[in-house]
Structure 1
């Protein structure tokens, strides 16, 4: 299943429009002259601080983030590799390192950074989960991606079965960066199975999603995409019809795009 098509289903949130990752990346990098000038000015300020205090953590992180925004991933990586030596328990620094290494097509390095981010974090962050999965798949390591996602899925299922701990709710709200969407985890798992060549397992995951979340369009869309890619056009079209019916208004165009597409690249 193609990378952009899989991520389209993974990224879909009800009530929001979604671009496939490649399109989003192009949009993000189209900085106006004014935006670029602001970022370059900010970078110069951080670099001035680093020229006198090369170990200043705030300046290192600020410069790395700014370079990432400017698309200078090689220089950003260099700074982040220095930063992780001193901020060894900061999941965000490792996450950003994983992001820039992915952009540089260092997929094994990206996966290692995302794995460290997950290891030092108290909670499961979906951005790290998705980044780690995509890095493993790009590195041609789908079996590892599947095992990782299955362990995350098991953890979420255990939390669901035991129920929330009232005593921990306040601290959880303070520390958890974002709520983990179980549907997105399963969509990632289906994607990993598909990349591994286990199409029937991917379809089974999507069937479970549809059964447990019949009003959520994402399961129908993901199943429609994989069925169409594997030549089952009739069943795929039925999935797209269901996906469009349940999709929020802003996501209907996305469903239409994939239902009309003759071939996924």
Structure 2
């Protein structure tokens, strides 16, 4: 994982993408690698490839989780997919994914927050999204409550959604990844640490050669 991050930061996107893919082939449930490769593909304006990556992972999940429970965190992967859909302005697809995650785990604040942001960015009536923000804040761990309240009060960020909202979701996803790799430093998308995954945090530079198809 560290090798791919170094390759990406030094501008060798092709090598970074291949390193991520190799890691994912060996560990299909590696959330950090999935998150980083999906982000890299989106930076390269390849949303179809990012969607395929995450959908293929979800197809593997039932069998993988039957053999080893929890091997692939389906909720986390679905949230990544919803974020990609949101960035593509595929709002209906994103909402469908978020509703699915929420139905599977009513205690997870992330799909509720994501849906609230989509509704807000669409310019819907506050009566539709304010209750979602309130529900998300009630469900979320204490360390995220202030950020959620800031998102509820903040400006609309249509059409691609809020970086702050994505950061909160990525932070909790990275925490889940850390549970599977104790002793390893927790990195978020493009090498961003969990502690840095807060509104306004900057990701490493992503300049470099484009990734080939």
TM-score normalized by the length of structure 1: 0.53
Which whole-Å CA distance do the structure 2 matches of 1:233 and 1:111 have between them? 41
Q: Give the paired residue count.
A: 157
In the other structure, the counterpart of 2:58 is 153
Equivalent positions of 1:161-180 (< 5 A) are 163-164=66-67, 180=72
Higher relative contact order (CA 8 A, sep 6+): 2
TM-score normalized by the length of structure 2: 0.65
Q: Supply the RMSD in Å over aligned alpha carbons.
A: 2.4
Equivalent positions of 1:70-85 (< 5 A) are none
Change (3 A) 1:151 1:249: same
In the other structure, the counterpart of 1:205 is 97
Q: Which runs of 5+ in 2 are unaligned?
A: 163-213
In the other structure, the counterpart of 1:254 is 147
Which whole-Å CA distance do the structure 2 matches of 1:154 and 1:180 have between them? 10
Q: Deviations over 1:113-165 (max 9, x none)?
A: 3112223x2453111111111111111111111111011111113344xx346
- Contact kept, 8 Å, 1:136 with 1:145, in 2: the verdict is yes
Equivalent positions of 1:1-265 (< 5 A) are 95-104=1-10, 107-119=13-25, 121-160=26-65, 163-164=66-67, 180-234=72-126, 235-264=128-157
Q: Deviations over 1:209-230 (max 9, x none)?
A: 1111111111101111222222
In the other structure, the counterpart of 1:76 is none
SS of the aligned residue for 2:118 comes to: helix
- Contact kept, 8 Å, 1:153 with 1:185, in 2: the verdict is yes
Change (3 A) 1:103 1:122: closer
Change (3 A) 1:116 1:233: farther
- Contact kept, 8 Å, 1:108 with 1:135, in 2: the verdict is no
Change (3 A) 1:110 1:194: farther
Which whole-Å CA distance do the structure 2 matches of 1:205 and 1:105 have between them? 33
In the other structure, the counterpart of 2:201 is none
Q: Deviations over 1:219-261 (max 9, x none)?
A: 1011112222222252222211110111122221121121111
Q: Which runs of 5+ in 1 are unaligned?
A: 1-94, 170-177
Which whole-Å CA distance do the structure 2 matches of 1:123 and 1:148 have between them? 10
Q: Deviations over 1:77-121 (max 9, x none)?
A: xxxxxxxxxxxxxxxxxx2232134334554543233112223x2
Which one has the largest radius of gyration? Answer: 1
- Contact kept, 8 Å, 2:64 with 2:71, in 1: the verdict is no
